[in-house]
Chain A
Amino acid sequence: MTATSSATASGRGFLAPNGKGLFGWIFSTDHKRIGLLYMYAVLTFFLVGVSLGVAIRLELIAPGETIVSAETYNTLFTLHGVIMIFLFIIPGIPAIFGNLFLPIHIGANDVAFPRLNIFSWWLYITGATIILVSLFTGGGPPDTGWTFYVPFSTETTTNVPLAVFGVFVLGFSSILTGINFVTTVHRLRAPGVTWGRLTLFVWALYATAWVQILATPMLAITLALIILERFLGAGLFDPTKGGDPIMYQHLFWIYSHPAVYIMILPGMGIVTDIIPVFARKPVFGYWAIAFSSIGIAAAGSLVWGHHMFVSGMSDMAILVFSLLTFIVAIPSAVKVFNWVATLYKGSISLDPPMLFALSFIFLFSIGGLTGLILGSAATDVAVHDTDFVVGHFHYTMFGGTGFAFFAGMHYWFPKIYGRMYNKKVASLAWGIMFTGFNILYFSMMILGLRGMPRRYYDYLPQYTNLNVVATVGSWILVAGMLLMFLNLLRGARSGEPAGDNPWGALTLEWTLSSPLPAENFPTVPVVERGPYDFDEGIQRP
């Protein structure tokens, strides 16, 4: 007796109540439920982060103090960064879509360590709670920027220790997910799922997991040292005691630069899985893309000093890190070429997932190219700590990972909920978001080139016009996002039932029912072809 692949026959699949109520969710060891638990938590914090961003832009709509004091402004951008980075972008795609689909992509019934998996989620919730508590206790929310540079982080009276401890706990959530995913990919592949038949999403998650394992502990020790410095005063970063504040920056960025690859690689993986489906063509250069994921992870671990060109680091280090930074652009470019080559002579269908995936290529390329301006030390000196940097990382992290996240949401939505959202509204929301995004962040890059510093709540009168433009752009962007989320919510509640494979894709999740069944594969699947073999004339539904 096989599990039926019809959604209507099995009801709501893994979504159906299993008799344990809430406990059947928050103590579930089912990777699919855990993926959704992460999704709801992550999106909640994303919306908080968006609100903080809106508040920041409201303050910046006019020079001088507009809606908040300078001190409050410092806490706004600190929290915006901490929440967006540690609660949305870093965990986002791996913990949500990785949990939902990694086991299915390799033909497994779950991850290698299911109990560790739900424990990771609880660590996420705990870390998030600790950060929330830090807002209302001690000296109030931290005001150091998400980078917690010494000496300010060791001197300020705000509740840095608790907030930093929250991030510390989140780091463990990330590490455990990484350990789980590496072990899963090595040990749980179904027969026929060779390394050469893994989806490129899985390759991306695998590379990401290695970075989570090897880089995150550096963050852990760095954060622990901030807390210890505040309580013990050992002086390891304090020049009056013989310490070197630049060493803090080294330790911090040894994690935080690879962290941006934790952020972008899974997004690239989603885009790589989506494009062949909506271009109806096999992906161009499978092995090039697979190895470029590993290459980005490896090379990206060597470049952290490019955040420190003006810190007082030696000229030799500036030279070395700048050179290494240019090298890491190469595997990223390989991916862009391969995506474009996949599109060439494809039969393109501009469904919402494809719109997000295509705009990812455009936005990430802008982000990546502006990264070269920052990676070149001479030009960096002019734009370091200006809005140019802020524009750059929003193009990569938001235009890149964020849009890839939305692409994944629109692609896998019918598989998760068994319903389809309104595609026209989704496309409209995309268009509004794309417009607002570019108005907001391109303005910032121009402002930065003209000298506007980042993390300042005030600015010279000559920057006013572009700041107004940027703020209006933020409203357009947020309006688009709200429309997008409302459309998806309505789709989940009352959208048309979606079939098992509305997009005509070839990866394993589309052979299962929509919504996904409670048990993935009652009989072990045997895989005999690659995930992108569109040559066999498979019809688009």
Chain B
Amino acid sequence: MTEQAHAPIPYRIFVVVWVLLLTLTATTVAVSRIHLGPLNIWAALGIASLKSALVIFFFMHLKYERLFFKLFLLIALVTLATFIGLTFFDVLYR
């Protein structure tokens, strides 16, 4: 018995995603050259998150996986975010 979660993903989807990723890369470089103060880092992280979402959902097939895979990824990311966030309760208020 071979269980297949989904049909093989068409190549063109990957190519489209790749083009989007390159576009976002160019965007992030361009935006970073403009002085936006503290906004720069958040813009960079925002674009990086978008790129990551593309890699995770398409290249890593998460879009086609069962719900609990997505839930588990969310748990891992929230965990890391919490570690950083709670640390900042110290660092920001020294």
Contacts and interface: CB of A to CB of B under 8 A. Distances in A.
B93 A315 contact: yes
B94 interface: yes
B86 interface: yes
A218 B83 contact: yes
Interface in B48-87: 68, 75-76, 79, 82-83, 86-87
Contacts of A186: 68
B82 A317 contact: no
B90 A314 contact: yes
Interface residues of A, number: 18
A320 B87 contact: no
A202 interface: no
B86 A320 contact: yes
B89 interface: yes
Given A214-B76, A214-B79, A302 B86 contact: yes
A445 interface: no
Closest 9 CB pairs of A and B: A314-B93, A317-B90, A316-B93, A317-B89, A313-B90, A320-B89, A314-B94, A314-B90, A214-B79
Contact of A250 (B90, B93, B94): B90
8 contacts: A186-B68, A210-B75, A246-B90, A305-B89, A314-B89, A316-B93, A317-B90, A321-B89
A301 B89 contact: no
A254 B85 CA distance: 12
Interface of chain B, main secondary structure: helix
A328 to B, nearest CB: 13
A302 B79 CA distance: 9
A97 B35 CA distance: 58
Nearest to A182: B72
Interface of A: 186, 210, 214, 218, 246, 250, 254, 301-302, 304-305, 313-317, 320-321
Contacts of B86: 302, 304-305, 317, 320-321
A210 to B, nearest CB: 8
Contacts of A320: 86, 89
A254 B83 contact: yes
A301 B82 contact: yes
A210 B78 CA distance: 13
B80 to A, nearest CB: 8
Nearest to A319: B89
B90 A302 contact: no
A214 B94 CA distance: 28
A516 to B, nearest CB: 29
B90 A305 contact: yes
A218 B82 CA distance: 13
Nearest to A214: B79
A214 B76 CA distance: 7
B35 to A, nearest CB: 25
A250 B87 CA distance: 7
Nearest to B86: A302
A75 B79 CA distance: 35
Contacts of A316: 89-90, 92-93
A301 B79 contact: yes
Contacts of B90: 246, 250, 305, 313-314, 316-317
Contacts of A305: 86, 89-90
A142 B68 CA distance: 43
A160 B93 CA distance: 33
A250 B83 CA distance: 9
Given A302-B86, A305-B86, A317 B79 contact: no
B93 A317 contact: yes
A220 to B, nearest CB: 14
A443 to B, nearest CB: 35
Contacts of A304: 86
A527 B52 CA distance: 43
Most A CB within 10 A of own CB, among B79, B93, B94: B79
Nearest to B79: A214
Contacts of B93: 314-317
Contacts of A317: 86, 89-90, 93
Contacts of B75: 210, 214
A333 B13 CA distance: 52
A321 B93 CA distance: 14
B19 to A, nearest CB: 34
A305 B90 CA distance: 9
Contacts of B89: 305, 314, 316-317, 320-321
Contacts of B68: 186
A383 B14 CA distance: 59
Contacts of A313: 90, 94
A100 B68 CA distance: 27
Contacts of A321: 86, 89
Contacts of B92: 314, 316
A129 B24 CA distance: 49
Contacts of B83: 218, 254
A210 B79 CA distance: 11
A246 B75 CA distance: 27
A35 B87 CA distance: 38
Given A254-B83, A314-B93, A320-B89, 19 more contacts: A210-B75, A214-B76, A214-B79, A246-B90, A250-B90, A302-B82, A305-B90, A314-B89, A314-B90, A314-B91, A314-B94, A315-B93, A316-B93, A317-B89, A317-B90, A317-B93, A320-B86, A321-B86, A321-B89
Contacts of B82: 301-302
A181 to B, nearest CB: 14
A218 B89 CA distance: 19
Nearest to A186: B68
A302 B80 CA distance: 11
